[in-house]
Chains A and B, each alone.
Chain A
């Protein structure tokens, strides 16, 4: 039997968990602004059920976050991604040591993946859930999770290969010039 949760409990819950949830939302959307919008949309859903929600509200919120993200965040994904990509291009870091960081490149690539693949990879490698836990969170068959993760990782590996190749070419070129 659920007890009626209060607004104070909501504030307390967010005080403790909001930062982590916000980081997840940023990873799922690609920017702080879009992440905040996603988190607030998920919170709106949570608010509908807050008073009488049975079970763990964080689990509910996380599932809502991921399902919203996996569905392209109100089906705006395509446009939003385009905008974010444009924004990412204009906001590219100027520090050359950052620019050549493969980790940053991988995250940028992650943000270009289809929402479902991105959601699976964030769950698997950010939340560090198993395939079974990821499938349970998203409500998908485990096979779907496995194939989405596989396709997403394959694209990231291709990027990494290209990255290393470019570095080798660059070194070779500099060697020739020297």
Chain B
């Protein structure tokens, strides 16, 4: 019987894949996808952890402020202005360094932000992000740096950079426009990633709340803390024709959620997901959860929010060349 099943399975696999042929241009497609991925990462690079921070503020603002642990909860009596002022005060008094740890469909990552400084570190993931020459996976669990995106001090000036460790290259990031809120489809889409290109969180949140792009949707216990849950309105974005051709999909739908400690008005968790579909390629779903810590502004912590380009890395003209 055992042998029968094994042989039947082998036959079945033969039948199942009979006639399967690899599509032409596999290498070119893979190369294009790789470039596309790098470009997307670069595009959202500036302001990494600001996302979380923005989320934080958004949450707090959306909650209507005040310790919202009681009651049907979250009273909307407090104005957004009151909430935002609390958030601003909390952040201004403490000058905390944000550290976000994200796990998701990509490798694990860490986000750092301190004022205008920000850094997004991606590590090799558990899915064999790096491999030895013999093909064995050597780095599981995110132990090896993979990509660094954010700000570096170059010539005494904060400058956006993109560093790829696997090929020891780096490039300058072009100054990109940053959404002022999550009200726009682009801004909302970026809220679903671990990066938000803003360092002005209160303004970002104020605008997001004003347009109703987020709402308080309840309470959730996280590590013993009853957090306020803020849910961003899902958005669907039609990709520009060039991008759609590159990824073989037409639409991207994303959603994001923030969890905020109602006592501190600081976020403790953020989650985002996106789903792309509508093209000849199979639909793609990606999601990530960022757990957030607020660290004291020690020299060591602040230093983490800046990228140091390793000696010997080659500068190239743009992230697309990496």
Instruction: For the complex, give the distance between the alpha carbons of A96 and B2 in Å.
Output: 26
B residues less than 8 Å from A39 (CB atoms): 22, 26
- Give the interface size bracket for B toward A: 35 or more
B2/A157 in contact, CB under 8 A:
yes
Number of interface residues of A (CB under 8 A): 67
Min C-beta distance of A122 to chain B, whole Å: 7
B12/A107 in contact, CB under 8 A:
yes
| Complex interface bits, A22-61 against B, C-beta within 8 A gives 1, otherwise 0 | 1100110001111111011101111111000111100111
B11/A75 in contact, CB under 8 A:
no
Say yes or no: is A178 at the interface (Cβ < 8 Å to chain B).
no
A18/B9 in contact, CB under 8 A:
no
CB within 8 Å of B: which A96-150 residues: 102-107, 110, 121-122, 125-126, 128, 139
A residues less than 8 Å from B37 (CB atoms): 44
A residues less than 8 Å from B281 (CB atoms): 33, 37
B residues less than 8 Å from A73 (CB atoms): 127
Instruction: For the complex, give the distance between the alpha carbons of A63 and B133 in Å.
Output: 11
Among B28-36, B180-188, B210-218, B310-318, which stretch is in contact with chain A? Answer: B28-36
How many inter-chain residue pairs (CB < 8 Å) link A and B? 160
Min C-beta distance of A113 to chain B, whole Å: 11
A residues less than 8 Å from B135 (CB atoms): 55-56, 59-64
CB within 8 Å of A: which B1-32 residues: 1-2, 4-6, 8-13, 15-17, 20-23, 26-27, 29-31
Say yes or no: is B73 at the interface (Cβ < 8 Å to chain A).
no
A79/B285 in contact, CB under 8 A:
yes
A21/B31 in contact, CB under 8 A:
no
B residues less than 8 Å from A46 (CB atoms): 30
Instruction: For the complex, give the distance between the alpha carbons of A46 and B131 in Å.
Output: 9
Instruction: For the complex, give the distance between the alpha carbons of A160 and B11 in Å.
Output: 14
Nearest residue in B to A68 (C-beta to C-beta)?
Answer: B127
B residues less than 8 Å from A166 (CB atoms): none
Instruction: For the complex, give the distance between the alpha carbons of A49 and B168 in Å.
Output: 12
Per DSSP, chain A at the interface is: helix
A residues less than 8 Å from B82 (CB atoms): none
Say yes or no: is B298 at the interface (Cβ < 8 Å to chain A).
no
Instruction: For the complex, give the distance between the alpha carbons of A7 and B31 in Å.
Output: 11
Among B2, B16, B131, B283, contact of A45 (Cβ-Cβ < 8 Å): B131
Instruction: For the complex, give the distance between the alpha carbons of A139 and B285 in Å.
Output: 27
Instruction: For the complex, give the distance between the alpha carbons of A68 and B63 in Å.
Output: 41
Instruction: For the complex, give the distance between the alpha carbons of A39 and B29 in Å.
Output: 11
Say yes or no: is B105 at the interface (Cβ < 8 Å to chain A).
yes
Say yes or no: is B75 at the interface (Cβ < 8 Å to chain A).
no
Nearest residue in A to B136 (C-beta to C-beta)?
Answer: A139
Say yes or no: is B145 at the interface (Cβ < 8 Å to chain A).
no
Say yes or no: is A11 at the interface (Cβ < 8 Å to chain B).
yes
Among B5, B137, B166, contact of A156 (Cβ-Cβ < 8 Å): B5
Instruction: For the complex, give the distance between the alpha carbons of A53 and B12 in Å.
Output: 35
Nearest residue in B to A74 (C-beta to C-beta)?
Answer: B105
A residues less than 8 Å from B285 (CB atoms): 76, 79-80
Q: Which 4 A-B pairs have the closest CB atoms?
A: A18-B22, A63-B135, A60-B135, A103-B12
Extra 5 A-B pairs, beta carbons < 8 Å, given A37-B281, A110-B9: A27-B17, A31-B282, A55-B134, A71-B128, A103-B8
Query: Can you name 28 A-B residue pairings with CB atoms under 8 Å?
Result: A7-B27, A11-B27, A26-B17, A26-B20, A27-B13, A33-B282, A39-B22, A40-B30, A44-B31, A49-B131, A53-B133, A59-B134, A60-B133, A62-B135, A67-B127, A74-B105, A74-B286, A75-B104, A79-B285, A102-B8, A103-B12, A104-B15, A104-B16, A105-B12, A107-B16, A110-B12, A121-B9, A153-B2
